[in-house]
Every structure is written in C-alpha cells, then in structure tokens.
Structure 1
Amino acid sequence: MARAWQQPLPDMPAPPPSAAWGRIAPPSGYEPQWRRLVDAALELDLGPDDLAAGGLDAVAQAREWKPATVALYSKVARYGGLALPLPATPEPDPVALDLRPLTLVRGEDPEHLRSVAWCALALGWPAPVGVFRSLRRDQVRVTSRRLLISTDDGEWAVPGALTAWHAWEACRNRFPALAASPWVLPALRRGPGLDSRIGGRLSSQALQATFTKHARSTVGHLRATVTPSRREAVEQLAVDYRRLSYDTYRRLALAAGAPPVTARGVVRAARTVSRSARAGRLAG
C-alpha cells in the first residue's frame, strides 16, 4: 500500500510542487492516470499538500472534467496516499431522456457502428463500462427476435438491438483483424501502448471517450436533419446529449425499466423512478 502523504511540519516551508510530487510513488496499476493528475495539478502550481487540502475543484474546473472524471481521479489520488473525499455521483439530469437516436444506424463507418451496437445493447442490458470492456462475442447469441447475453452472473434477453448488432457484425467481418477479435467492442486502431493493436481490448477510458464522441456526432446529425417543426425539441435534446456520459446513459436506461445487470447504479435508478413518479402525481 502506498505510504500516505504527510502534511509539512508547522512553520516548515513545503517543497516546490514538482519536487513534492516526485517524492510520491505512483499507485500500482494507475501510473498513466497518476501522471495525468500530476500534470493537471502542476499546471496550477499545486503540490500534493495543496490538493489534499483543497480537493480537485480547481483542477476539475481548469480541465473541464466531468463528474465521472473527477470521481476517477479522486480515487487515483486516494490510492496514491492523498486523503481526498470521493465525490458523490450526480443523479441523471434530466430524469428522462429519449435515448433512441443513439441506437440508430445512419452510416457504415466502423466507429459509428460499434458505438450504435454498444448503445443498443446497453439500452436493454445496462452494464457498467468495465463489463462491456470485457464482454466477448461468444457471450452474445442471436435469435430471430432478440440477443441473448450470458455472463457469470446470469443470462439476459435484449430486445431491440438486432439491427445494430447485425450491422456491426457485417462491418467487422470485412476486416480480418476485427473479424478475429474475441471482443464485442474491439479497438479499431492502434493506441499509444506497446501492446495496443487493432482488435485488442479497449480501456475503460477509451470507451468513455468513444461514447462522448458518439453522443456529439449524434447531435450534429439531429441538427442537420431536423424539420422546422421539431427544431426546438432537437435543440433541447442536443443540450442534454452534449453533457451525457455513459454512466448517466445506463442509469437512465435502468430508470426506464431495463433489468439491472449489477448492483451498481440500481439504487440511484430506483430513486430516479420514484422522483419521476412523484413529479407526475404532483403535475396531475
């Protein structure tokens, strides 16, 4: 376990931020995230004691980090020995949102089809991003009416995802590296890592970035194809999509009635449903 960071003794000046960070060993398994956290802190001339005292608010504001990113780096900082409070994951806002545009096939680009297949699966099987990262193709079976997903935790039937799944499978079968990949959501290009390869397993961070990119490209498509009568509704949807994360997407799917895959997020989704029901009764 990493040795906890010690606050400087009274009346003793703290070392320069770069030197102070250099005295802390990165937490095992989180070296890249630790390096990005240190770089973000040094941009604001903050040392580890400054971060421990003031939290991540200043860094998050400067980097425009979303709540899920703040939660990730808070965890990394704690693993490195900095006693930062873990921020609470915010409730979905709005509590209901039309997610279907994210599941519609509108082209043949592999990255688009991979994202559409992911969103279509997650709408009926809202697993956390880490579960999707490790989901293999042999865990998904196709029937005439739905997809069947099997994991160590059970088996789920996913309706409404066949079109997206077949489009993605047809696309990946045109590329040998993708066709041979065992992963449902494989890498489409090589990354910076030495072991990165086409068809390899993506990181959770890469999948989060993929979802954000897909949501923003969907916004562009909606604005380009909207009719004048629906322009106001599409503009509101575009605002919601631009701040949508995958974690919020899955909680909205849970709140809409999708069966839970893991315990994570189920309590918050139940609160969202109750809140929405109360609002409906008050409006009535």
Structure 2
Amino acid sequence: MRAGAVLLALLALAGCATGGGRVGVVSGGTTRSYMLVAPPAADDAPRPLVIALHGWLGSPEQMARMSGLSAAAARYGFVVAYPRGEWHAWAMEPASRRGAADAAFLAQVVAEVSAVVPIAPSRIYAVGFSSGGFMAQALACSGRVRLAGLAVVASGLPVPAATGCVPGTGVPFLLIQGSADPIVPMRGIDTQDRRILPTWDTLGFWAARNQCQGLDHAAGAGIRRTIGRACRDGDTEAWIIDGAGHGWPGSSFAYPAFLAGPRATTPDATSILLDFLLRQRAGPNPVRVR
C-alpha cells in the first residue's frame, strides 16, 4: 500500500463520534471491542442489525462519523454495531487463522448484541468502507454469519475471499464506488500480499453467486448504475459516482483531496445503502460452517 494511503488512514483516526457504548468481548482468547448504538424503541419487536466495519487504521468512532449510521438508526429503527479491527485492521482470507479469528469475532458480536437487544435473525446486514468492505465480503464468504445483505463503499473483493468462498446461496450485494478513487481504484489493486479485484469483476462475482441472468446498465447525471437482472439468490447492484475519489459520498467527513481524490457531496451513500439493505430478508436456508 502506497505511503499516501498510510497517511490517509492515519488522518482517519482524527475523526471521532459519540452516541454509542463501547463493549468489550473476549474472542479466541483476545480482548476485542465494538461500539453499540441501540436507539430507544417503542416496543420489544425485533429490529434489524447493521454491522459497520471501518477502513484500514480506522476506528468505530471514525466509521460512525463518516457514515452517519448512528443517526440513521434512530430514524429507521435499527441497531448498529461498529466492531474494532485488531490493530485497526481486518483480515481478508476466510481460510487463514487471522481471517477465521476476525469472522469468529464478528459472529460473536452478532450473538452478544442479539442477547441484549431483540434482533431479527433474518435482518442482519454488513456494511464496510474500503478495507472494511474487504472484510465484509470475506465475512459473507466465510458463512459464519447469516447475512441478509451486504453493502460496501470504496471497496472491492479480495482474491483470497473469492477463492475461499463457501458454496451455498448468495447474498444481496451493493457496491458504491468513485470512478476517480486512487486508493481502491476501479481497475483493482495489488497490495503486499493479495489482489483486490476490479470493480466489474467484483460485481460479476456476486452477480454469478446470486445467479443473476445478466446485468443492466443505466446512466444519469454523474452516476452510473448497474443492476443484476432476474437474480435468483440476491439483488446485485453497483453505483459508480463519476469523478469521485476515495470516500463516503454525501458525508461531511472528507479526506484531503491530494490523497483521496475529489470529494463527492452527492449522492448520499447512507440513504442508498439503507434503501437497498433494509428491504432484504435472509432466506430460510443459511449457509452454515463449523
């Protein structure tokens, strides 16, 4: 990863947000933590759960500030958990020891949140920014959590996650990507030890996994949308924001343009992904692995 990306990630640590409670958990003999935001509810009806994964060297607080998901949780009636990656990072290989440990930790977060807040098992979603999106896809591929939907921003699919994806039904998938992203470019990127697939290969992977019959393309004012046609196992969609750099479109949080490229003030990525995710439900036959 280039030096600019290192500085970019360090700057991310300056972002902070409050409004959530920090919860410690021992997973695999290691003490880890997550931030939980569970707005008051009028009744005890089960609510959706969004697992929101920060980028490389980021934090739960930075992810909350960037995404605005905590405020959205109160408006839309869901619960959001922001896990902290070990050393502020995530693994991307579901079959590796560290990848298995991260997936187990996230599965434990889901179990612990479900034990204290009524959560609808068919409405658990994963959201990830940048390398958090790598991990969100690796989590879906691991089969450790029954996900009803997956949405990633400024991200792509790591080759180890793709090759290690357990067989079974697909998962609804949404990708929001800037066309001028210099950190996770649309053409893909090689990091020190793994390849991140290009945008269209990432979308193609999930379209195939979701048994889509093809992809339909539409272009608007500065936005290109690709939508899976007749997807049997999960809606599949991409929003390409023309001229946008590495960031969360519509967020007030922005990285320096000389590192991340142009900031996209529109559209509102949070509204787009919640509109996509909250209409999804997990099927009756989730993939199970040991």
> TM-score scaled to structure 2, two decimals?
0.25
- Give 1 or 2: higher helix fraction: 1
> TM-score scaled to structure 1, two decimals?
0.25
Larger Rg: 1
- Give 1 or 2: higher strand fraction: 2
